[in-house]
Amino acid sequence: MSYSIEVVERSGNRLKLLFKGVPLALLNAVRRASIEYVPSMAVDFVVFNNNTSVLHDEIIAHRLGLIPLNSEEALRKYKSPEECAGKSSESSVECYAVLSLHASTKEGEIKTVYSGDLKPVTDPDVRPVYEGIPIVVLGPNQEISLEAYARLGRGVEHIKWSPATVSTVTYSARLTIKEELCTLCGKCVEVCPRNALALENGKIRTYDERCILCRQCVNSCPVEAVVLGFKEDEFYLTIESSGSLKPETIVREAFKIVISKLDKFLSILDSIKAQSGG
């Protein structure tokens, strides 16, 4: 069976791919791997030197953990989460990147501390993706000083390590107009939110690639002239990244992980077969 991959959309942190001839089960595995198993950097724990703000240490540490960190270079620099399990930050520089945050206010001053104030110490490549995420508001004569330790992790451990904010697999639509029933009233064209239908040259023209299978066209047609189905061998994979990794990196790493798991599964089957003498 032949297969193909087509880039339908690539803008910002969003990537939409059209797969033809690829099993749905495989794409669904890639979708789940994008969320749960592709590693990225996030703050694991925080050491506070001083915190006189109104927020407890735990709240600030939780907010720091949810700040996306650049992870493109980290994938090849740092050891996997499994290799770093149980290791302290002092014993392994290949597991942890250190960032620092120091901010204070004077008498009568109020200041908002942002993610851009979180500065890399040991690795300039591991830094906040966005500089405008608020962390805490300092009142007059308040101070916060800390060191944050980031490592590679997976979304299955905690969502802060998931590089994908959106990961979906959808069917490719097939729109058909029964011309013998269609009265050209245009109601289906009016209700379509994605302009997948258009009244052109005295007939209804369909644009399957725009359809999101919402069925508004089917429900609005008074004569049931619109037939909406899907193509059994075509699917869309859509990935939106938090910014920690490029969406194409997420897809590539997800495929590697799925292949690795399949290889491991096959090796287990082979060992079982060998033990049974089959």
Q: How many CA atoms lie within 13 A of 126 on its CB side?
A: 25
Largest CA distance in the chain: 81
Q: Residue 1: what pLDDT?
A: 62
**β-bridge mates for residue 172, sequence order:** 231
Instruction: Say if strands 143-153 and 97-104 run parallel, antiparallel, or are unpaired.
Output: antiparallel
Phi, psi at residue 263, to the nearest 5°?
-60, -40
- Give every CB contact of residue 201 below 8 A, 6+ residues apart in sequence: none
Place of tokens 């049931």: 224
Strand runs (DSSP E) across the chain, as ranges? Answer: 4-11, 14-20, 40-51, 97-104, 111-114, 119-120, 134-138, 143-153, 164-177, 197-200, 203-206, 226-241
Place of tokens 């290791």: 87
Domain ranges for the chain, please list them.
Answer: 41-161
CA distance 189 to 44: 51
Place of tokens 């104030």: 117
CA distance 44 to 55: 19
CA distance 242 to 232: 31
Place of tokens 């250190």: 98
Q: Residue 3: what pLDDT?
A: 86
pLDDT, tens digit, for every residue of 81-115? Answer: 999 887 776 667 899 999 999 999 999 999 999 99
- What is the residue-averaged pLDDT of the chain? 94
Dihedral through CA 177, CA 180, CA 183, CA 186, nearest 10?
A: 10
What pLDDT tens digit does each residue of the chain (278 aa) get?
688 999 999 999 999 999 999 999 999 999 999 999 999 999 999 999 999 999 999 999 999 999 999 999 999 999 999 998 877 766 678 999 999 999 999 999 999 999 999 999 999 999 999 999 999 999 999 999 999 999 999 999 999 999 999 999 999 999 999 999 999 999 999 999 999 999 998 899 999 989 999 999 999 999 999 999 999 889 999 999 999 999 999 999 999 999 999 999 999 998 888 887 75
Q: Residue 91: what pLDDT?
A: 60
Q: Residue 232: what pLDDT?
A: 87
CATH of domain 41-161: 2.170.120.12
Q: Give how far Cα 267 sits from Cα of 37, 83, 123, 165, Å.
A: 21, 22, 38, 33
Other CB atoms within 10 Å distance of the CB of residue 102: 15
Q: Residue 90: what pLDDT?
A: 64
CA distance 46 to 135: 14
CA distance 8 to 110: 47
pLDDT, tens digit, for every residue of 116-156? Answer: 999 999 999 999 999 999 999 999 999 999 999 999 999 99
